[in-house]
Amino acid sequence: MNIESNADLTSYLSFANYVRCERLCKIRSTQDLIQYFQNDKDKNYLILGGASNVLVIPEYLKRDVLLIQLEGKDVVVKENEYDLIEFGAGENWHDIVIWSLEQGYGGLENLSLIPGTTGAAPIQNIGAYGVEIKDVLHSVRYFDIATGKILTLHNSECEFRYRDSIFKNSLKGKFVITSITLKLTKENHKVNTSYGAIQNELGPNPVTPKSISDAVVSIRKSKLPDPKVLGNSGSFFKNPIIPKELLMKIQETHSEVPYYDLKQDPENVKVPAAWLIEQTGFKGKRHGNVGFFEGHALVLVNHGKGTGQELWDHAMRVQTAVSNSFGITLNPEVNLIL
């Protein structure tokens, strides 16, 4: 295990805010995990993958940071119409999307260009353009901190919900994901082009997993800033789910409010958080070193020297403004490290 004391984490954080930690431990094997936890299971630590959905607020973390760098791709089951493929938790998510397309697999194309690592994907139940990881995930292998054993959870046991899972709730602080296994189709893949943006981007082109991936990449690049250029973590807030009664009240003054019906929840609707933020005037508006991106109102950005506290304070300004204007509380999608 590679260990660095008083380590600078800035380059590992997608917000690119300055943070140091007591020790940075690079985890490259399950043996590294066993070694780290074997003598003291109550150590003060933080687990990071791609750190693409994390806002670290303090500038100095009085704890260890475990950087998960477990790699590998392994076809574990072959069937006529699909394969089960195990990916190490440290693999870059978009890289495995591209790899799967090159191997002729379908299933991940709508999830193209989502930043982060595979190990973080089921924690957040990442999703985009009508697809979530729960739609293709077979199982998750994880290191159980209490017992030191590698355990497996199958899809039905992961308690997936919108941007949520068992890993953010009853298993929080008790695990380290080591790999995930995905069920990817080889033939007769049912593509999802339900989002109009994809259909518009595709135009007359043939509809294939590769063409959908290309369309998603094009859309995301046109709307979202590159974290390597402008520090950000993608969508900062979740799209709120509200009662239809509240929607009707909002429509009295904002008849154009967009919303999406929920098939399994007919009493409620989903409203785009980006639209709510835009109505309050924060889109593209800079506050010191931070602000919400001019190309997408849902993306909180660091313009260069913003601290974790500055980023959080500005997010709370927007949360308050939306609450005052619409009676809706926006909840962060990113994980906050205090």
The dihedrals phi and psi of 38, each to the nearest 5 degrees, come to -65, -30
Rounded percentage of the chain residues whose pLDDT exceeds 70: 99
Contact 22, 62 (CB under 8 A): yes
The rounded percent of the chain whose pLDDT value lies above 90 is 86
CA–CA distance from 117 to each of 21, 67, 72 (Å)? Answer: 21, 11, 12
Q: Which of 10-14, 43-47, 155-159 has the lowest mean pLDDT?
A: 43-47
Contact call for residues 31 and 65 (beta carbons, < 8 A): no
Model pLDDT for residues 224-239, shown as the tens digit of each residue: 999 989 999 999 999 9
Q: Which two tokens stand for residue 157?
A: 């046991």
Question: Residue 41 pLDDT > 80, yes or no?
Answer: no
Query: What's this model's pTM, rounded to 2 decimal places?
Result: 0.88
Whether residue 291 is predicted with pLDDT greater than 90 in this model: the reply is yes
Q: CA 148 to CA 15: how far, in whole Å?
A: 32
Residues annotated catalytic, as ranges? 163, 235, 333
Half-sphere exposure of 322 (CA within 13 A, CB side): 25
Give start and end residues of each alpha helix (H) in the chain: 30-37, 93-102, 121-124, 196-202, 209-223, 244-251, 273-279, 308-326
Query: Torsion over CA of 53, 219, 94 and 25, rounded to 10 degrees?
Result: -30
